[in-house]
Structure 1
Amino acid sequence: MKRLGRIAIGVGIVAVLAYAMVLGAMYFFQRDFQYDRGGRLFALSETSLAQAEQVSIPGADGAVVTGWYQPPSAGKPLIVYFRGNAQSFSREHQRYEAFVADGYGFLAFDYRGFPGSPGEVSEANILADGLAAYDWAAAKGFPIVLWGRSLGSGPATYVASLRDADALLLEAPFDSAVSVAADRYWFLPVGLLMADQFPVDTWIRNVAEPVYVAHGTADSTIGVRHGERVYALAPNPDELWIEPGAGHSEMWEHGLWERAKGFFARAEAKLGR
């Protein structure tokens, strides 16, 4: 019995040490788990965006944010697009091509630490870069609508809570990054470990713009309940579109752009634009 007791104690010590090592790895390498910063910045010549230009947006503390910009046609707004987590914003050039084909302008960009923009990735830098991009776009004088996809739902909502855009569209949003982490790492105290928590559920309460939320029921990256909660907290909700069977990156192919145009048209009509 004494031998079994010693074995049990030994197993317990090993388990505690292993758990401590997991906690340490998650804490010290958390941004490697949280962000996908690989890939490359595409050249505009690799796209059909013949009228767009690559721009450098001055940010906080001397930072420079790289993006693509094209002004809208008369009577259309400018979409400030807050990209998701994977690689560079430029990989989604088909979206921007669809925007401009229908007369919309766009500004899309990489947050610091992603392929197009040098620097360190962090929540503070992502939010600061989002504000810098919005202010740069607002200076152009066009009506502005915001589009936040996945990770981009964080800075898009934050910017909407502090600036005066015409509309906020959130594609596969989370209510907070720490909540998403808790879904995945339920066995870890992620609320204590995470530095970049993106409390969208707090920021959305201060968003005066009309809000459209799109989410798929088969989203295994950010569960659909996150989008439902964000929409429920929006002070000025427009529409919640839940697409049965759609995964995290499948909302576009299920017709998101057509729905987005309808939402933006409603928002602009309410403002008499």
Structure 2
Amino acid sequence: MAYWVSTFITIVIIYIAVSIALYYLQDYMLFKPEKLPKDFQFNYDNQKFEEHNLETRDGAIINGIQFKPKGESKGVVLYLKGNSKSIKGWGKFAVDFTRLGYNVLMVDYRGFGKSTGRRSQKAIKRDLQEVYNKLKELTTEDRIILYGRSLGSGFAAKLASMNNPRMLILDAPYYSLTKVTARYAPFMPLSLLMKYPLPTYKWLKYVQCPIHIIHGTHDKLIPYKTSVKLSQVNPKLTKLHTVIGGGHKDLNNFESYHLMLEDIIRSKPKSIDLTTTSINVNHSSKKA
């Protein structure tokens, strides 16, 4: 056998082996869950909260915490977290919304915290829709705000595309998870291998509520240009908010983030009479 033939066969075998490994190991690479015992007691200083469990139709348990504002509630924020740890640690971010008068519901995905069940993209989407349906039993959709952080941004976009919340807020979102992983494995057939493609850009097309995207300019995991591209998917409903110098995990350490978050939460849809603007005026150097 010629040397180049044996080399080619070896490369093909390695490529196939890596592809198989990537398919079966991606859950371990994408998700970094913190598991909690059933009797774990949550504790948050200076925050009122209640723990809830939702049993899904396939028998899984989705564990969540509802944080409450001090005064009368203005609505509820369904906060979909990132891919690591559990709501035990993510709960500290609820104060950013309770201080504005909103209830905050955080849930752990399957296999995170106290939540159980076999994880898949379809199962998580179904779980979150069941959670959303429970919220609709307690309040009207015009009082529900969807907030998706990193991994949770894709699931939040999907929920918004299937429902009618007051608004959708995406924090450091990705165009699709396939695109994110392609940066690290550019030669792999990820469109075939990914169990969690999470095509945020596809779902945003069908969102009919105001969309607010928050992203830091120094995000090295999901580049800022990703949000620029996403903001063009549904431009009439989308507003991009830029945190200058912000990375992927530190936006909460910037005053500008909290100022823009407050503006977003308190904002109401506006319309203007474009006939009174310069929208149809052409800029030309040939005329004064």
TM-score, structure 2 as length reference: 0.84
Equivalent pair of 1:208/1:236 in contact (CA under 8 Å)? no
Maintained 8 Å contact 1:71/1:105: yes
1:264, CA displacement in angstroms?
Answer: 1.4
CA distance in 1, matches of 2:269, 2:73: 10
> Tell me, what secondary structure is at the counterpart of 1:184?
coil
C-alpha RMSD of the superposition: 2.4
Measure, in 2, the Cα distance between the counterparts of 1:148 and 1:74.
Answer: 24
**Which residue of 32, 36, 43 corresponds with 1:36?**
32
Deviation at 1:23, TM superposition (A): 0.9
Structure 1 residues 267 and 63, CA gap change in structure 2 (3 angstroms): farther
Cα shift at 1:32: 1.6
1:95 counterpart residue number: 93
Q: Which amino acid aligns with 1:54?
A: E
Task: Tell me by how many angstroms 1:265 deviates.
Answer: 0.8
Q: Residues 80 and 268 of structure 1: is their aligned pair in 2 closer, same or farther, counting only changes over 3 Å?
A: farther
CA contact (8 A) 1:77 1:144 kept: yes
1:192 corresponds to = 192
Distance 1:156 1:236 in 2: 19
Within 2, Cα distance between the matches of 1:195 and 1:105?
33
Partner Cα separation in structure 1 for residue 200 and residue 51 of structure 2? 30
Q: Distance in 1 between matches of 2:40 and 2:258?
A: 24
Deviation at 1:230, TM superposition (A): 1.7
1:71 shift after superposition = 4.4
Q: Which moved more, 1:56-65 or 1:186-195?
A: 56-65
1:201-216 equivalences in 2 (<5 Å): 201-216=201-216
- Which one of 79, 82, 93 corresponds to residue 81 of structure 1? 79
Contact 1:214/1:251 (8 A) holds in 2: no
**CA-to-partner distance for each residue in 1:157-213, whole Å, 9 max, x for gaps?**
111111111011000101111111112211111111112211111110111110110
1:129 is paired with a residue whose SS is: helix
Judge which range, 94-103 or 143-152, deviates more.
94-103
Equivalent position amino acid for 1:110 in 2:
D
Counterpart Cα distance in 1 of 2:114 and 2:46? 17
Which amino acid in the other structure matches residue 27 of structure 1?
A: Y
In the TM superposition, residue 44 of structure 1 has moved relative to its aligned partner by 5.6
SS in 2 for 1:130: helix
Alignment of 1:118 with 2:113, yes or no, is no
SS of structure 1 residue aligned to 2:11: helix
Determine if contact 2:158/2:203 at 8 Å carries over to the other structure.
yes
- 1:237-248 to structure 2, matched below 5 A, reads 237-248=237-248
SS at match of 1:146: strand
1:180–1:44 distance in 2 versus 1, CA, 3 Å = same
Rg: which structure is higher?
Answer: 2
Amino acid corresponding to residue 65 of structure 2 in structure 1: W
- Aligned residues between the structures: 266
Match of 1:258 in 2: 259
Equivalent residues of 2:67, 2:94 under 8 A apart: no
* CA separation of 1:238 and 1:202: change in aligned 2, threshold 3 A: closer
Paired AA for residue 102 in structure 1: L
- Cα gap change, 1:38/1:44 in structure 2, threshold over 3 Å: closer, same or farther? closer
> 1:107·1:137 contact (CA, 8 Å) conserved in 2?
no
Name the CA distance, whole Å, in 1 between partners of 2:176 and 2:67. Answer: 31
Alignment map for 1:4-83 (pairs within 5 Å): 6-38=2-34, 40=36, 45-48=42-45, 50-72=47-69, 73-74=71-72, 76-83=74-81
Q: Which residue of 2 aligns with 1:106?
A: 104
Aligned AA (1:13): I
Q: CA deviation at 1:95?
A: 0.8
Higher helix share: 1
Determine the C-alpha separation between the residues in 2 that align with 1:114 and 1:156. 18
Alpha-carbon distance in structure 2 between the residues aligned to 1:246 and 1:51: 30
- Runs of 5+ in structure 2 lacking a partner? 272-288
Shift of 1:243: 2.5
SS in 2 for 1:70: strand
Deviation at 1:49, TM superposition (A): 5.2
Q: Which amino acid aligns with 1:262?
A: D
